[in-house]
Chain A
Amino acid sequence: MEERETIIGLEIHCQLNTKSKMFCGCSTDFRDNEPNTHTCPVCLGLPGSMPMVNKRAIEYALKVAKALNCTIREESEFSRKNYFYPDLNKAYQITQYDKPLAECGKLLIDGDNGEKEVRITRIHLEEDPGRSVHMGTTDRGKYTLVDYNRAGIPLIEIVTEPDLRSPKEARKFLNKLRATLEYLDVFDSEKEGSLRVDANISLQGSERVEVKNISSYKGVEKALTFEVTRQRNLLRRGQTVARETRHFVEARGVTTSSRSKEEENDYRYFPEPDLLPLRVASWIDEITLPELPDARRERFITQYGISPEHAKTLTGGLKLAEFYENVATINPALAATWTADYLLGELNYRDFSIDAMPADLFRELLDLIAADSITDKSAVEILRLILDAVKDGKKPERPGEIVNRLGLAKTSGDQVTAMIQEVIAEQQAAVDDYYAGKMQALNFLVGQVMKKCRGRADPGHLNRLLKEILDKKV
């Protein structure tokens, strides 16, 4: 039986990294601070307080709209989204409804079947609500506390058309979007909760399910994969998929039906009477975009002569791209291989970001590799030692120091030749076997030399050298 096509659309909420909040002057730098310390009458929603638009937030949102090739409305409008919730201090959220900032955009991604254009339905600005802190579990806890430090953090909501065809494609879209937002310097992906995703997912010809509360990139693919399987199983058993809202429970990797009828909301949107319509016509031309991921990828290919695959990987995040450019000065190809193929693997294994690797140490390591002073095996060992030190909160040793301490310096050519001569003298039987045409004998001899130099020689190189010497003797 032919499988039904998976249809996915995303709604992404992304915190803009402005210095102050969306509608007041409070600092957005609230993480690691006491609850309710970054507040004022406006973001507390005190009676009588009024919102004041943060121009920087609008500028940031315009950058995103431009980068995603959107049509920007000359006049957009803020609306109130009315609903009751303890962490929503005014009992409405100021957002944009029928006149959003920007519409009809697109983002090119590396899709399941090659390059793909994902259509952006709209981008609008809104304020983040506060945060509920449940004491105990939601249903059994004695009480819930509310922290308004987050209230009023500027958000953009980016809505896509249902153009994504697999959970993997959804993740790829998010990676590309994240990279774009980072390049624009409007977003800090490292901050907890800075990106939240709601996903609409359906199997062709069947009802659509909204999955809410996905708060990490990795969660998106997990939640969607779970949902595809759940929906397929229902259909396979001859049941139907109910049109509903489900909650992603990150800890268990499952989605659960979440909204009771009582909680179905009619948001009663209407224009926010305390704010004037937003006219951005005069600003649009002043918004300039930096180099975006696609352009940077092309430049890496031409400027550094690296492979398109490496270029794509290395431009997938702003900090990674900057890191690469920082270390690519001497040998770009070597730097690309070592960054994309080795370093990223070691970082992922430790759940580290690129920030964990001190660039100067990595550059020193690349120098050692380029000078042929250490083997690849030793280089990986050094890399791991550095990252492990970082993980333990210790100051990592410099690669040179590690080489000296562990005696990892590659055995020099003369030394290797001398060792080969020793082995030939010691292993006459194996040498004879070699001359008799037994090629396994060569491997044995290589192994003997490796033993003598404690692995600090390149096996391929050793093989060739040994063969050369033996063949000359004939």
Chain B
Amino acid sequence: MKKLAFHPDDSVRAFITTIPEVTYGDGPLSGVTVAVKDNISTKGIETTCASKILKGYIPPYDAHVVTLLRNSGAALVGKTNMDEFGMGTTTENSAFGPTLNPLDHERVPGGSSGGSAAAVAAGLVDCAIGSDTGGSIRCPAAFCGIVGLKPTYGRVSRYGLIAYANSLEQIGPMARDVTTLSKLYSVIAGHDPRDATSVDRPYSHIPSADIKGLKIGVPDEFFGEGVNPKVAGVVRKALEILESYGAQTVPCTIPSMKYALSAYYVTCTSEASSNLARFDGVRYGPAVETLKSWHDAYSDQRKAGFGKEVRRRIILGTFSLAAGYYGRYYQKAQTARQMVRDDLERIFRDVDVIAGPTMPDIAFRLGEKSDPLQMYLSDILTVPANLAGVPAISVPCGNVEHMPVGLQLIGRYFDDERIIDTAYAFEQGGA
């Protein structure tokens, strides 16, 4: 085993935990420094999901991706900050305080994998692992000016990822360039029998910048109301550049987009209300002083341990699943989810890739979005890929007010290779 000292100048507060003396072995990623989001279980290393309720929790096992990283020789240097349990778009909802955007310390890095994105963008690590439930890899990638991939659902094992919304989320790679991202992805993708939703589709692709003949669908909804016209302009320009490399753009529409956000929030909060119920103070987290009966003690514990946004989403999800409301909320959300899938499937009959902005705007100023509903609206362009389970990547494509803009490329089911190639073509300036 080789050793590496890790003492980053973490002025952006990207890390919750750093490992000063890292050991690593041989393999395709030997010595490559990797930061891992703090909702991914690491044996012997505290894993908090940026929540007080998991303070002091040291998993006795490694997540599947962590095992794969270790086997590939990667140097796992630390655990990164995030919105508590992944619930947020800015990394401001962390019990450890916000992470700052390395490009402008007055701004957020995006979220929820904001720590991972900031660590990469600030050059503290070579690459990072994030998780994406409704845009949590792509949003911070866009805001920090790096590349981030949400793989096809099932291509990366979720075993060991502390669940927020199981049916939506995927672990994915983040890096400063497509080549590094692709290398990292080839290590973490593949079948894992411990995850029943895992599929046997390993990734061993070398990115190619040749996109001649590629058909790109451009949905009206991605450039409409709520999207900063300057951001839309930068992305349209990027699409023209892709056309100049031989791609062809085709206008299209995703009518179900108007239901997507509701479907997403009902689904993710429902699943979260169940996933997070186990944090009751019996097994994890600092005990709250209480002499009440267990029922009331649970309430005290959870009130003290969870942040405001987490509590809000647990209450929303509990409501959506309640007897008498299930049909009107959870079940209806599943119908809407199917409509999004159907829309994307229809569009993918004619095009290879769907493209648009990753985020409707550039990175917000810290504290700028205080209304939760306004915050939820900013996920509108990223949630369709999670609802449908298809792959999506964000690649930097220009600037607005000196802040980066992300070009989002959404692919067919299991066609992660194609969007990686498209991103690579853009990054490399064509073949």
Q: Which residues of A contact B (CB under 8 A)?
A: 41, 45-53, 80, 82, 84, 86, 89-92, 144, 146, 262, 266, 268-270, 273-276
Task: Name the prevailing secondary structure of the B interface residues.
Answer: loop
Quick check: is B322 within 8 A (CB to CB) of the other chain?
Answer: yes
Among residues of A, the one whose C-beta sits closest to the C-beta of B318 is A268
Contact, CB under 8 Å: B274 / A268: yes
Contact, CB under 8 Å: B159 / A48: yes
* B159-178 with Cβ < 8 A to chain A: 159-163, 165-167
Given A47-B54, A276-B196, A270 contacting B321 (CB threshold 8 A): yes
Quick check: is B298 within 8 A (CB to CB) of the other chain?
Answer: yes
Contact, CB under 8 Å: B197 / A274: yes
Among residues of A, the one whose C-beta sits closest to the C-beta of B168 is A273
Most buried by B among A90, A146, A268, A276: A268
Given A47-B278, A48-B59, A270 contacting B40 (CB threshold 8 A): no
Task: State how many angstroms separate the Cβ of B127 from the closest Cβ of chain A.
Answer: 21
Cβ–Cβ < 8 Å partners of A90 in chain B: 277-278
10 closest A-B pairs (Cβ-Cβ)?
A91-B277, A268-B321, A273-B166, A273-B167, A47-B162, A48-B160, A48-B41, A48-B162, A91-B278, A266-B323
- In the complex, given contacts A46-B60, A47-B162, A82-B277, what are 15 additional A-B residue pairs having Cβ atoms less than 8 angstroms apart? A46-B59, A46-B61, A47-B57, A47-B284, A48-B63, A48-B159, A50-B159, A84-B277, A84-B295, A270-B330, A273-B167, A274-B163, A274-B166, A274-B195, A276-B196
Quick check: is B280 within 8 A (CB to CB) of the other chain?
Answer: yes
Tell me, in angstroms, the Cα distance from A86 to B282 when the chains sit together. 7
Contact, CB under 8 Å: B295 / A262: yes
Quick check: is B92 within 8 A (CB to CB) of the other chain?
Answer: no
Given A270-B274, A273-B166, A273-B167, A91 contacting B280 (CB threshold 8 A): yes
Among residues of A, the one whose C-beta sits closest to the C-beta of B165 is A273
Quick check: is B193 within 8 A (CB to CB) of the other chain?
Answer: yes
Quick check: is B421 within 8 A (CB to CB) of the other chain?
Answer: no
Cβ proximity bits B43-70 to A, threshold 8 Å, 1 near / 0 not? 0000101000010010111010000000
Cβ–Cβ < 8 Å partners of B49 in chain A: 47
Given A46-B60, A268-B321, A52 contacting B193 (CB threshold 8 A): yes
Q: Which residues of B contact A (CB under 8 A)?
A: 40-41, 47, 49, 54, 57, 59-61, 63, 158-163, 165-167, 193-197, 270-271, 273-274, 277-278, 280, 282-284, 294-295, 298, 318, 321-323, 326, 330
Tell me, in angstroms, the Cα distance from A47 to B193 when the chains sit together. 18
Cβ–Cβ < 8 Å partners of A91 in chain B: 274, 277-278, 280
Contact, CB under 8 Å: A53 / B196: yes
Contact, CB under 8 Å: B196 / A50: yes
Tell me, in angstroms, the Cα distance from A274 to B273 when the chains sit together. 15
Tell me, in angstroms, the Cα distance from A114 to B91 when the chains sit together. 71
Cβ–Cβ < 8 Å partners of B162 in chain A: 47-48
Task: State how many angstroms separate the Cβ of B424 from the closest Cβ of chain A.
Answer: 32
Among residues of A, the one whose C-beta sits closest to the C-beta of B159 is A50
Can you list 24 residue pairs at the A/B interface with Cβ under 8 Å? A41-B60, A45-B278, A47-B41, A47-B162, A47-B163, A47-B284, A48-B59, A48-B159, A48-B162, A49-B61, A49-B159, A49-B160, A51-B196, A52-B196, A82-B321, A86-B294, A90-B278, A91-B278, A92-B274, A146-B282, A268-B274, A268-B326, A274-B196, A275-B196
Cβ–Cβ < 8 Å partners of B270 in chain A: 270
Tell me, in angstroms, the Cα distance from A91 to B165 when the chains sit together. 16
Residue A268 contacts which of B40, B163, B167, B322 (CB distance < 8 angstroms)? B322
Cβ–Cβ < 8 Å partners of A262 in chain B: 295
Residue B40 contacts which of A48, A53, A82, A274 (CB distance < 8 angstroms)? A48
Given A82-B321, A274-B166, A52 contacting B277 (CB threshold 8 A): no
Residue B163 contacts which of A48, A52, A276 (CB distance < 8 angstroms)? A48
Task: State how many angstroms separate the Cβ of A232 from the closest Cβ of chain B.
Answer: 33
Contact, CB under 8 Å: B271 / A273: yes
Tell me, in angstroms, the Cα distance from A330 to B257 when the chains sit together. 81
Tell me, in angstroms, the Cα distance from A205 to B318 when the chains sit together. 37
Cβ–Cβ < 8 Å partners of B284 in chain A: 47
Cβ–Cβ < 8 Å partners of A92 in chain B: 274, 277
Cβ–Cβ < 8 Å partners of A80 in chain B: 274
Tell me, in angstroms, the Cα distance from A9 to B159 when the chains sit together. 41
Cβ–Cβ < 8 Å partners of B195 in chain A: 50, 274
Given A48-B41, A80-B274, A276 contacting B298 (CB threshold 8 A): no
Among residues of A, the one whose C-beta sits closest to the C-beta of B57 is A47
Cβ–Cβ < 8 Å partners of B197 in chain A: 273-276
Tell me, in angstroms, the Cα distance from A276 to B277 when the chains sit together. 22
Cβ–Cβ < 8 Å partners of B193 in chain A: 52
Contact, CB under 8 Å: B161 / A48: yes
Cβ–Cβ < 8 Å partners of A46 in chain B: 41, 59-61
Among residues of B, the one whose C-beta sits closest to the C-beta of A42 is B194
Tell me, in angstroms, the Cα distance from A52 to B198 when the chains sit together. 11
Cβ–Cβ < 8 Å partners of A268 in chain B: 273-274, 318, 321-323, 326
Cβ–Cβ < 8 Å partners of A276 in chain B: 196-197
Task: State how many angstroms separate the Cβ of A392 from the closest Cβ of chain B.
Answer: 45
Contact, CB under 8 Å: B280 / A84: yes
Tell me, in angstroms, the Cα distance from A351 to B127 when the chains sit together. 68
Among residues of B, the one whose C-beta sits closest to the C-beta of A51 is B196
Cβ–Cβ < 8 Å partners of B282 in chain A: 86, 146
Among residues of B, the one whose C-beta sits closest to the C-beta of A83 is B277
Among residues of B, the one whose C-beta sits closest to the C-beta of A139 is B293
Most buried by A among B167, B193, B277, B298: B277
Cβ–Cβ < 8 Å partners of A51 in chain B: 196
Cβ–Cβ < 8 Å partners of B274 in chain A: 80, 82, 91-92, 268, 270
Tell me, in angstroms, the Cα distance from A92 to B273 when the chains sit together. 11
Tell me, in angstroms, the Cα distance from A378 to B282 when the chains sit together. 62
Contact, CB under 8 Å: B298 / A84: yes
Cβ–Cβ < 8 Å partners of B59 in chain A: 41, 46-48
Tell me, in angstroms, the Cα distance from A379 to B167 when the chains sit together. 69
Cβ–Cβ < 8 Å partners of B57 in chain A: 47
Tell me, in angstroms, the Cα distance from A146 to B295 when the chains sit together. 16
Task: State how many angstroms separate the Cβ of B48 from the closest Cβ of chain A.
Answer: 10
Among residues of B, the one whose C-beta sits closest to the C-beta of A275 is B196
Tell me, in angstroms, the Cα distance from A48 to B67 when the chains sit together. 14
Contact, CB under 8 Å: A50 / B194: yes
Tell me, in angstroms, the Cα distance from A144 to B295 when the chains sit together. 13
Tell me, in angstroms, the Cα distance from A270 to B330 when the chains sit together. 9
Task: State how many angstroms separate the Cβ of B403 from the closest Cβ of chain A.
Answer: 34
Task: State how many angstroms separate the Cβ of A142 from the closest Cβ of chain B.
Answer: 11
Cβ–Cβ < 8 Å partners of B158 in chain A: 50, 274
Contact, CB under 8 Å: B278 / A52: no
Task: State how many angstroms separate the Cβ of A15 from the closest Cβ of chain B.
Answer: 23
Cβ–Cβ < 8 Å partners of B295 in chain A: 84, 262
Tell me, in angstroms, the Cα distance from A389 to B280 when the chains sit together. 52
Among residues of A, the one whose C-beta sits closest to the C-beta of B296 is A262
Among residues of A, the one whose C-beta sits closest to the C-beta of B334 is A271
Cβ–Cβ < 8 Å partners of A49 in chain B: 61, 159-160
Task: State how many angstroms separate the Cβ of A40 from the closest Cβ of chain B.
Answer: 8
Most buried by B among A50, A90, A91: A50
Contact, CB under 8 Å: A52 / B194: yes
Task: State how many angstroms separate the Cβ of B210 from the closest Cβ of chain A.
Answer: 37
